[in-house]
Amino acid sequence: MQYRYVEQPPDWEEHERPAMPGSPARLHHSLARRLAYVAVGLFVGLVGGLGNGLVTANLTAIQGQLGLTQVEAAWLPAAYVMVNVTANLLVFKSRQQLGLRVFAEWGLGIYAVLALAHVFVEGYTMSLVVRGVSGFAGATTTSLAVMYVMQGLPMARIPAALILAMNMSSVAVPLAWVLSPALVTINPWPHLYAFEAGLALLAFAAVVLLKLPKGMQIHVFEPLDLLTFALVAPAVALLCAVLAQGVNAWWLNAPWLAYALIASIVLFTLAGILEYSRRTPLIQLRWLLHPSTLMFMAGALLMRFMISEQNYGVIGLLRAMGLTSDQLQPLYGVILAGMLVGVVAGALTFSANTILPQILVSILLISIGGYLDLHSTSQSRPHDFFFSQFLVSCAAALFMGPLMMIGFKHAMSQGADHMITFIVLFSVTQSVGGLMGSALLGTIQQARAQVYTQAIAREMPATDALVNQRLAQTQASYSKLITDPVQRNAQSRAQLAQTVKREAAVLAFNDVFRVIGTMALSFLGWALYRALRLRFLAWLGGRRAARAVAEASF
C-alpha cells in the first residue's frame, strides 16, 4: 500500500518495520530497557484510570466538599466518559500523522498541567474540565500502555502484552478504592487532587525520558473527518448525559432527557449518512453494521452490563446500608486481587484455542457470583461478598483478552483503516456500556424498591399489635432525648419508615442480582451453543474453518 509520508521513514530491516503506521518500530533492546518499557507501560496504563477512579471512589465526599447536588456530582464521572469515547475517534489518526512522541507528550502534558492547576484552582467548573481532560488522557494512555508493553515483550507474547496493557485502566478502579482512605486520612481533600497531578507528572516524565522508537508518519486526516467528529462528539455526549442522569432525574419526569436523546439520535443519523457516502470514511459503517460485528458488539455490551453487578449492585447495596469508603476497602482489596489473578491467568493461558474456554469460564463465574449474592439482607457486610466479588472481578479481567483479540483480528482482516472503528466500538461497549449498565440496573432497583415499600407498608397497618409494640419500643429509646410525646411519636414513625425503606432497598438489590444471574446463565447457554456449533464445524470442515468462525464472533 502506498502512503503519503509526512517524513521519509528510516531504512528499517524487515523485522524492525512497524506493523502499521502509528505503531513504533520493533528495534532490538537490552533486557534492562525492555523491562523499563514494560514498567512504564503498566504505570502509564494505571495513571490513565487511577485519576478517574479516585474521583469515583470519593464522589460522595467531593460532593459534600463542593456543596453539590446528586445531579451535579453525577456530571463528574460522566464528563470523563463523554470525552474518552469521542477522543478515540481522533487518537488513532493523530498517532499516524503527528507521530507517537508528539502524541504521547502532548496528551499526557496537557493532562498533567490541568491536573496541577486543579490543585490551586478549586471549584466545580474546574473539576468538570479536569475530568474531561482526564478522559482524553485515558484514551491516550491506553494506546501508550499497549505500545510500551509490546516493546518489552517478544513478538510471540504480543497477545499477553495487549491483555496486560488493556486491563491496567480496569485494575486502577479497585486500586483507587484501596488507596483512597489512607490518602484522605493523611491529607485534606485538596491534596487528593495533588496526588492525581503527581501521577500525571510522573507519567509525563516517564514517556519523555524513555521514548518509543520512531514510527511511520503518514497523511491521513481529511477535512470531512472533522465534520464527522463535530457530529459524533456531541451525539455521544448527549447519550452519556441521558444515561448518567436518567435515574437521578428519573426518565419520565425530566423532559430534557427526551430532547437530549432525540438530538443524539439525529446527530448520529447525520454522521451515519455522511460516513456511508464517503470513499474513505472515518468510521467504517458497512463493517459496523455487518451481522458478525453486531454480534460482537452485543456480546461485549452484555458482558459489560453483567459486570455492572459489582460496581452498582454490591457496592450500591452496601452504601445503601450506610457503609463508608474505609469500610469498603477490604472488599475492594479482594476485587483488586481477583482482577490481578484474572489478568495474569488470561495473559498466560491465552491462545487461539483458549478463546472460547476463557469466554465460557468468565460467563460461568459471573453467573455464580450473581446467584451467591442473591440472598443478601440488611445485615450483610463486605466480608459476605468476598468470594462472589473475587469471582466476578476475575471474570471481568479474564474476558478482556478474548474480547480484544476477537475484535482486533476481525477488524484487521478488513484492513488497517478499520482499526478506528474497532477502537471506537470497543470504547463504546466498555465506557458507555458501563453507564448503560448502571442506568438500567439503577432503574430496576428503584422501581422494585417502590413496589416493595408499598407491599411492606400494606402488611403493617396502624392497628397491628406488633407495629404498635415496635413504635412503643422506639419511643422509649428516645425518652431521654425528646421530652415531647408528640415529637417522640413522630420520630419513631420516621424511624420505622426508614427501616421499611432500607429493607425494600435490599429486596430490590436482590432482584438486581437475580436479573444478572439469569442473564449470565442465558448468555452461557448461547455461548455453549456457539461452542458446540464450532465443534460440529471442526468435525465437518477442519479446525481452520472453526477457528475462523470463532474469531469472527462469539
Cα Rg, the chain, nearest whole Å: 25
Which of the four pLDDT bands, split at 50, 70 and 90, describes residue 522?
confident
Non-local CB neighbours of 344 within 8 Å, separated by 6+ positions: none
What pLDDT sits at residue 185? 66
Q: Which of 249-263, 360-374, 399-413, 433-447 has the lowest mean pLDDT?
A: 399-413
DSSP labels, 114-143? HHHHHHHS-SHHHHHHHHHHHHHHHHHHHH
Q: Name which of 299, 348, 368, 95 is nearest 217 in CA terms.
A: 95
Residue 3: the pLDDT is 67
Average pLDDT over residues 264-277: 90
pLDDT of residue 267: 93
DSSP secondary structure code for residue 212 in this structure = P
| Whether pLDDT at 379 is above 50 | yes
C-alpha to C-alpha distances, 546 to 102, 357, 550, nearest whole angstrom: 42, 14, 6
Task: Determine the average pLDDT of the residues in 481-496.
Answer: 68
pLDDT at 261: 92
Q: For 282, list phi and psi in degrees, rounded to 5.
A: -75, -40
How distant, in Å, are the alpha carbons of 298, 483, 549 from that of 536?
Answer: 24, 79, 12
Could you tell me which residues are beta bridge partners of residue 465?
Answer: none
- The count of C-alpha atoms lying within 13 angstroms of the C-alpha of 10, restricted to the half-sphere facing its C-beta, is 13
Spacing of C-alpha 521 from chain mean position: 22
Residue matched to cell numbers 447525520:
270
SS3 content of the chain, % helix, strand, coil (to 5): 80, 0, 20
Name the DSSP letter for residue 152: H
Q: How confident is the model at residue 188 (pLDDT cuts 50, 70, 90)?
A: low
Q: Which three cell numbers stand for residue 173?
A: 478502579
The helix or strand, by DSSP H or E, that contains position 222, with its residue range, turns out to be none
Residue 72 and residue 89: Cα distance in Å, rounded? Answer: 27
The pLDDT score that the predictor gives to residue 189 is 61
**Higher-scoring residue by pLDDT: 387, 167:** 387
Determine the Cα–Cα distance for residues 16 and 147; give it in Å rounded to an integer: 14
Give residue-wise pLDDT tens across range 308-348. Answer: 777 777 888 888 887 877 788 889 899 999 989 988 888 88
Which residue has better confidence, 235 or 371? 235
Query: What does the pLDDT read at residue 262?
Result: 94
CATH for 282-460+515-554? 1.20.1250.20
pTM of the model: 0.82
Query: Hey, do 1-221 and 282-460+515-554 end up sharing a CATH topology, with the first three levels equal?
Result: yes
What is the rounded distance in angstroms from the CA atom of residue 354 to the CA atom of residue 159?
12
Nearest Cα to Cα of residue 305 among 436, 182, 170: 436
Average pLDDT, the chain: 80
- Decide: helix, strand or coil at residue 297: helix
Q: What is the pLDDT of residue 246?
A: 87
Sign of CA dihedral 325, 327, 333, 336: negative
Q: Map out the domains of the chain as residue ranges.
A: 1-221, 282-460+515-554
Taking the C-alpha atoms of residue 497 and residue 453, their distance in angstroms, rounded to an integer, is: 9
- At residue 266, the pLDDT reads 94
| Fold of the 1-221 domain | Growth Hormone; Chain: A; (1.20.1250)
Q: Is 220 helix (H, G, I), strand (E, B) or coil?
A: coil
CA 163 to chain CA centroid, Å, is 15
* Mean pLDDT, range 183-191, rounded to an integer: 64
User: 486: how many CB neighbours lie within 10 A of its CB?
Assistant: 8
Q: Is the dihedral of CA 138, 148, 554, 296 positive or negative?
A: positive
pLDDT band at 544 (very low <50, low <70, confident <90, very high): low
Separation CA 498–CA 129 (nearest Å): 38
**203, 395, 80, 141: CA torsion to nearest 10:** 30
Per-residue pLDDT at 265: 93
Say what percent of the chain tops pLDDT 70.
88
Strands (E), 210-338: none
- Determine the residue type at 117: A
Q: How far is CA 310 from CA 59, 333, 378, 389, 544, in A?
A: 17, 13, 17, 7, 37
From the centroid of its chain, how far is CA 499?
33
Q: Note the pLDDT of residue 473.
A: 65
**Residue 433 binned pLDDT confidence (cut-offs 50, 70, 90):** confident
DSSP conformational letter for 218: B
pLDDT above 60 (res 22): yes
How many residues can be counted in the chain? Answer: 554
Residue 548 has pLDDT above 60, yes or no: no
Query: CA 254 → CA 75, 246, 247, distances in Å?
Result: 16, 8, 10
Q: What are phi and psi for residue 553, nearest 5 degrees?
A: -165, 175
Task: Count the Cβ atoms, other than its own, within 10 Å of residue 248.
Answer: 15
Ranked by mean pLDDT, which of 129-133, 402-406, 494-498 comes out on top?
129-133
Helices 419-427 and 386-412 meet at what angle, rounded to 10? 160
Q: Is the CB of residue 427 less than 8 Å from the CB of residue 82?
A: no
Please say if the pLDDT value at position 88 is more than 80. no
DSSP notation for 407-476: HHHHHHTT-GGGHHHHHHHHHIIIIIHHHHHHHHHHHHHHHHHHHHHHHHHHTS-TT-HHHHHHHHHHHH
The lowest-confidence range among 47-61, 366-380, 384-398, 527-541 is 527-541
- Model confidence over 458-475: pLDDT tens digits? 777 666 666 666 666 666
Phi then psi dihedrals of residue 236, to 5 deg: -65, -45
* CB hemisphere CA count around 386 (13 angstroms): 7
Kindly tell me if the per-residue pLDDT of 456 is higher than 70: yes
pLDDT band at 554, cuts 50/70/90? very low
What is the DSSP code (8-state) at residue 5? B
